[in-house]
Amino acid sequence: MKATKVPTKNTLLAVPVATATASNFSQDELIEGKSHLISRWVSIGMYVGTQFGASASDMAHVFKRSVATGHQGVNRTKARVALNDADVLKAVDNVSKELQRILDSNYG
């Protein structure tokens, strides 16, 4: 789902909430954590955020990562999606659905 306009601040801030719900990690763990598993979920969250119109740089800031890390995470997830990695596709779908649910409940 590509957004056709610049995402609002509320949209950007909803991405970690959606990622936390889908991953069963807390927002604090996602934002502060650096383990491999947490970083994978952060990359998925950043990728989903870009699918909703945010830039990789914006998503990196939301998850308190460097801009380079944001771009790298988005690109890695994009590559895994292109390879039809079932686990990544399922995670992306879960985060996307949760983010859409959050946005619909706040704006619908």
Give the number of domains in the chain.
1
Q: What CATH number is associated with residue 23?
A: 1.10.1750.10
The answer to whether residue 4 sits within a structural domain is: no
Q: Which domain holds residue 74?
A: 9-107
Whether residue 2 is contained in a domain is answered as: no
pLDDT single digits (tens) 9-53? 888 999 999 999 999 999 999 999 989 999 999 999 999 999 999
How many CA atoms, within 13 angstroms, populate the side-chain half-sphere of residue 97? Answer: 9
pTM of the model: 0.91
Tens of pLDDT, residue by residue over 48-84, are 999 999 999 999 999 999 999 999 999 999 999 999 9
Does any domain span residue 64? Answer: yes
End-to-end CA separation in angstroms for the chain: 17
Nearest of 71, 73, 68 to residue 91 by alpha carbon: 73
Domain assignment present for 40:
yes
Task: Give domain status of residue 39, yes or no.
Answer: yes
Token digits for 21?
Answer: 């719900």
